[in-house]
Every structure is written in structure tokens, then in C-alpha cells.
């Protein structure tokens, strides 16, 4: 027996069905087709397969909308009536089958309504989380002072769970200063603490001549707003006249990319995260033209596939050493997502900067009427 899909199953307004709706609809229609084939091929047997069509609405409800579930239930009921009218099943069995289809369709439609509302709620929360995080993380670059800078945030999940990864790059009287950090935990509490750290940093970075003084101020801000077990790892970078200064508070060390090499810039001595009164020792490097520096949170170091970690140091130069700094971060994200097969365990914040070299000396034009002039 052949049957046509009713218009109710077609997308309204000409809009295409979502992949989930197509999958749910396809599974339901395959089941209806199989039941029809079994009934027609086994007409001599006293076994009836019509009752199996009651499962079709549940298959649709797993992925499709409630309207589509009702439409599938209607198709199943029409199919059951058509098969019953052929005389293969008794009227009593046919009535029982149809009543069963109506009941299962109703239950499946209710299930689809609940599932769809939950999905819409998750989407709404994700949008709110994205807005909250964007309010904390301002766009950086493409130029901050003399440096080319790009920042990027990679979310580990499409759900509403948001992390406390943070970064900022600003041009101050003491040079270009960049912070990257990671708040322990997730959710709105983590975003709140990240906003506190960034708010404090955006103020004191213009006021303190020494990065160690900035660390002290940030540590106080964190300690005033967290519990005993909460903390923030952070790395602060300053570039001034080609001199790079780094202080590290329990954060993964930045990677220096220079002439095909990748050099981890480990701190001279370890220091605890913000919130635990870190005493930091600066690391100072002299930059060369074309040097690039990658700052990242520990989500990058913990990304793995089948127990094997993403080889950041081995691939960093090939992925980040060419094109613009924005192109480099895009290449890194593509390679990372491919490595983990789209499943990250933690959010990742990335900042990539490039030092173009010393600025050329400014020449002052001398008016022609002054050339060769004398007091006489």
C-alpha cells in the first residue's frame, strides 16, 4: 500500500525542516512503510502487525515538533484504518489498534512539547550567557599600541554553562599591557569574578608602573570577593620599547614564536593564583621583529582525544606563524576542534600578539627658508 505525506508534515511557510525534525520524521515514516510492507506481504498469516504503527509517533517525538508528531499519528491512524478495511484483521482488533494509536500520539505529543520547551529554554539561556560574557570580554585589537593583537574565546558547550576565562589588552603610559586569566568554576559566579578582575585591571593598569603592584591590587580584589577555595590564575604581559615583561600567577606560560621555534616562557619562580597572595618574579625578554606571543588558558592544554593531548607546542608555529594574528587564531581553533572531534572539556581564551619591530625615528622637516640662514 502506498500513502502520501499530508500537508501538515510539510514545513510551514516554505521553511526547511531542521536536521532533527527530518531525522524524526524519516524514522517514523520508515516504520510505517515497514509495517505496511509486512502486512501486505504476509496476508495469509493470522498475525497482525498494525499495532506496531503506534510506535511511529514516539519515534517522531524524539526529535520533531509536537505538530509533526500529531501529523505522524494521523498518518498512522489512516494506515491502520486502510489495513483494517482490507479484512485482514477483525473490526475489534482494528478498533483497539486505532485507540492505541490515538493514546500513544497524545502522549508522544506531550513529550515533544516538553522537550521542545526545554530546548528553547537552553537556547535562551545560551543567548543570555553569551550577552553576559560579551559584556565582560570586550573585543581586542587588531592594533593595540605598536602590537598587532587578536583575542578569541572558544566555548566548550552549546549549553548555558559559561566559564570565567578572561583577557584584555590596553595601551597605557607604561606600554601595552595584556592580561589573560581563568576563574575557578563556571556559571554566573565565575563571570562575576572575571568582571571584577577585569574591572580592577582596567583601572590599575594605567596607575601602576610595576606589574608586581598590579598583581597585588588584583589579588586584593579577588580575595575580597571569593571564598577560601576560589582563585584566579593569571598571566600579565607588558611590552615597552621591544622589551617584554611577564609575571605569572599559576597560569600556563605563554609561548614565544620566533623564527620557527616555539619557546615556553616559564616564570623564574612559581607563584600561586590570585587570591592566595602571590609573590611574583618578572621574566624579561628582548623581542625581535616578527616575534609572536600566544597567551592561553588551560582549556587548550587539557584538550585531548583518546587520552592524547593536543600538541600545542608542536603545531603552534605552523598554525600561528603565518598570516595575520587573527588568521592564526582561526587556524588554531580549526585544528583544535578537529583534534577533539568537536568535544572540548573546558572553555578556552586565546590572545595572539605580534611585535613588528621598533618604530622608525621621526624626522622633523626643516623649512627651506631656515636652511643656510645666519644671524647676519
Q: Could you give the C-alpha distances from 123 to 60, 152, 154, 281, 353, in angstroms and in order? A: 21, 22, 17, 44, 33
Comparison of pLDDT for 163 and 55, the residue scoring more: 55
Alpha helices in the chain (DSSP H): 19-41, 56-61, 66-85, 91-136, 188-204, 211-223, 298-302, 312-320, 325-339
The Cα 298–Cα 335 span in angstroms is 17
Average pLDDT across the chain, whole number: 82
Determine the average pLDDT of the residues in 5-24.
51
pLDDT of residue 133: 61
Confidence band for 134, pLDDT divided at 50, 70 and 90? low
Confidence band for 360, pLDDT divided at 50, 70 and 90? low
Q: Find cell 643656510 and name the residue.
A: 372
The Cα 165–Cα 149 span in angstroms is 18
Lowest pLDDT segment from 119-123, 236-240, 249-253: 119-123
Residue 90: Cβ-neighbour burial (10 angstroms; 0-12, 13-18, 19+): exposed
Statement: residue 18 has pLDDT above 90: no
Residues 6+ apart with CB under 8 A from 361: none
pLDDT of residue 237: 98
Determine the average pLDDT of the residues in 283-295.
97
Determine the average pLDDT of the residues in 24-41.
73
CA-nearest of 185, 176, 188, 355 to 259 is 355
pLDDT tens-digit series, residues 57-91: 877 887 778 888 888 888 888 877 776 676 666 66
Parallel, antiparallel or unpaired: strands 232-240 and 175-186: antiparallel
Q: Where are the domains of the chain?
A: 7-129, 137-354
Q: Could you give the C-alpha distances from 251 to 46, 182, 220, 231, 297, in angstroms and in order? A: 73, 8, 18, 11, 7
The Cα 112–Cα 48 span in angstroms is 28
Beta bridge partners, 170, equal 177
Lowest pLDDT segment from 91-100, 183-192, 238-247: 91-100
Determine the average pLDDT of the residues in 282-303.
95
For the domain spanning 137-354, the CATH number is 3.60.40.10
pTM: 0.66
pLDDT of residue 6: 43
Beta bridge partners, 166, equal 181
Amino acid at each position: 500500500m502506498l500513502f502520501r505525506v499530508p500537508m501538515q508534515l510539510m514545513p510551514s511557510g516554505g521553511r526547511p525542516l531542521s536536521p532533527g525534525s527530518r531525522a524524526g520524521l524519516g524514522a517514523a515514516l520508515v516504520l510505517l512503510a515497514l509495517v505496511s510492507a509486512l502486512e501486505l506481504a504476509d496476508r495469509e498469516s493470522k498475525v497482525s502487525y498494525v499495532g506496531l504503527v503506534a510506535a511511529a509517533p514516539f519515534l517522531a517525538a524524539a526529535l520533531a515538533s509536537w505538530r509533526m508528531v500529531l501529523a505522524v499519528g494521523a498518518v498512522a491512524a489512516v494506515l491502520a484504518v486502510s489495513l483494517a478495511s482490507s479484512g485482514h484483521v477483525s473490526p475489534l482488533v482494528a478498533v483497539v489498534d486505532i485507540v492505541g494509536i490515538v493514546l500513544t500520539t497524545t502522549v508522544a505529543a506531550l513529550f515533544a512539547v516538553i522537550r521542545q520547551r526545554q530546548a528553547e529554554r537552553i537556547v535562551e539561556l545560551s543567548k543570555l550567557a553569551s550577552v553576559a560574557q560579551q559584556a565582560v570580554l570586550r573585543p581586542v585589537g587588531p592594533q593595540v599600541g605598536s602590537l598587532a593583537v587578536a583575542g578569541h574565546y572558544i566555548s566548550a558547550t552549546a549549553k548555558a554553562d559559561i566559564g570565567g576565562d578572561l583577557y584584555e589588552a590596553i595601551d597605557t603610559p607604561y606600554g601595552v599591557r595584556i592580561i589573560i586569566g581563568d576563574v575557578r568554576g563556571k556559571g554566573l559566579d565565575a563571570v562575576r569574578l572575571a568582571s571584577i578582575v577585569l574591572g580592577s585591571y582596567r583601572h590599575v593598569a594605567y596607575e601602576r608602573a610595576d606589574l608586581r603592584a598590579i598583581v597585588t591590587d588584583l589579588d586584593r580584589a579577588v580575595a575580597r570577593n571569593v571564598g577560601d577555595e576560589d582563585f584566579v590564575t593569571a598571566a600579565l604581559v607588558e611590552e615597552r620599547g621591544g622589551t617584554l615583561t611577564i609575571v605569572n600567577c599559576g597560569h600556563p606560560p605563554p609561548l614565544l614564536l620566533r623564527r620557527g621555534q616555539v619557546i615556553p616562557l616559564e616564570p623564574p619562580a612559581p607563584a600561586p593564583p590570585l587570591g592566595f597572595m602571590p609573590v611574583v618574579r618578572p621574566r624579561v625578554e628582548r623581542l625581535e621583529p616578527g616575534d609572536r606571543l600566544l597567551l592561553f588558558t588551560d582549556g587548550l592544554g587539557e584538550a585531548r582525544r583518546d587520552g592524547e593531548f593536543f600538541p600545542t607546542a608542536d603545531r603552534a608555529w605552523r598554525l600561528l606563524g603565518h598570516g595575520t594574528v587573527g588568521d592564526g587564531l582561526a587556524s588554531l581553533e580549526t585544528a583544535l576542534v578537529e583534534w577533539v572531534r568537536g568535544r572540548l572539556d573546558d572553555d578556552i581564551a586565546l590572545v595572539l600578539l605580534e611585535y613588528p619591530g621598533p618604530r622608525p625615528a621621526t624626522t622633523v622637516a626643516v623649512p627651506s627658508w631656515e636652511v643656510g640662514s645666519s644671524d647676519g
